[in-house]
Amino acid sequence: MFFKKEANSKFSFIIAGLGNPGDKYENTRHNVGFMAIDKIARHYGVRINKIKFKSLIAEADTDVGKVLLMKPTTFMNSSGEALREAMNFYKIKPENVIVIFDDISLDPGKMRIRKKGSCGGHNGMRSIIDLNGSDNFPRIKIGVGKKPHPEYDLAAWVLAKPVEADRKLIDEVCEKCVDASKIMMTGDFEKAMNIYNR
Catalytic residue among 30, 43, 122, 149: 30
Alpha-carbon gap, residue 196 to 139, rounded angstroms: 12
To the query of whether residue 30 is one of the catalytic residues in this protein, the response is yes
User: CA–CA separation, 88 vs 6, rounded Å?
Assistant: 12
- CA 110 to chain CA centroid, nearest Å: 15
Separation CA 87–CA 95 (nearest Å): 11
How far apart (Å, rounded) are the C-alpha atoms in residues 9 and 107?
38
* Residue 111 falls in which region: left (phi positive, over 0), alpha (psi -120 to 50) or beta: beta
3-state secondary structure of 47: coil
Q: Which residues are catalytic?
A: 30
